[in-house]
Amino acid sequence: MPALFLASASPRRRELLTQIGVPFSLLSVSIDETPAVAESPDAYVQRLAREKALAGLALVGDASACVLGADTTVVLDQQILCKPADKADALAMLQALSGREHQVMTAVALASQSDCVVRLVTSRVRFRSIRPDEMEAYWASGEPQDKAGSYAIQGWGAIFVSTLEGSYSGVVGLPLCETAQMLDAYGIGYWTKSSV
């Protein structure tokens, strides 16, 4: 079985891979995450996932290894909502999402010496109306500070979600159904006893 490396600093992606029993090693990669001019959200998230996987592959000495990269973005009215710059930015995002439906796009890339395949999973999330005092309290919790769209569905932000259509794990950061299918195609197992 080829060795798998995860090119991600996200603890949530580590937890999700571990949840389905995938053995992997971690890689630290750094790429420019600035959206290109006129780049669509789906093209953006797929590009970042691919660049992370390929950057990780360049660091691995094992020619038979595979590297998994992923990226998640929140999209409202075709606008990418990145991680908030500060409190005002986070509160503005939460206000924009309040009472509305948005998309969460997660792209997964699996790179090997022979190719790099990318899958895009898009989910639809609807928020209930959020009161201003809730936004303030949520910011004070610290949770929104490093999250795309200023919320975490797997954390306290879950109370804002009235409906979800799509992949819950994809909204968290790694769509497990599609990821397992990709790994299986490369002969990388899941449901193993030993995982990180």
- Which two structure tokens, joined as six digits, stand for 98? 């309040």
Helices then strands, each counted (H, E), the chain: 6, 7
Instruction: Give pLDDT tens digits for 138-185.
Output: 999 999 999 999 999 999 999 999 999 999 999 999 999 999 999 999
Does residue 195 surpass a pLDDT of 60? Answer: no
Q: What is the DSSP string of 89-119?
A: HHHHHHHHHTTSEEEEEEEEEEE-SS-EEEE
pLDDT top residue among 193 and 189: 189
Q: What is the dihedral of CA 178, 181, 187, 191, to 10 degrees?
A: 80
- Tell me the average pLDDT of the chain: 96
Which residues, listed in sequence order, are joined to residue 146 by a DSSP beta bridge?
none
Question: Taking the model in full, what pTM does it have?
Answer: 0.95
Tokens 């201003």, located at residue: 132
Does residue 196 surpass a pLDDT of 60? Answer: no
The one catalytic residue among 32, 62, 71, 146: 71
Q: What pLDDT, on a 0 to 100 scale, did the predictor assign at position 193?
A: 67
What is the arithmetic mean of pLDDT over 67-91? 97
Does residue 184 carry a catalytic annotation?
no
Contacts of 180 (CB under 8 A, 6+ apart): 20, 190
What is the arithmetic mean of pLDDT over 111-121? 97
Question: Cα(80)–Cα(73) distance, rounded to whole angstroms?
Answer: 7
Question: Cα(93)–Cα(84) distance, rounded to whole angstroms?
Answer: 8
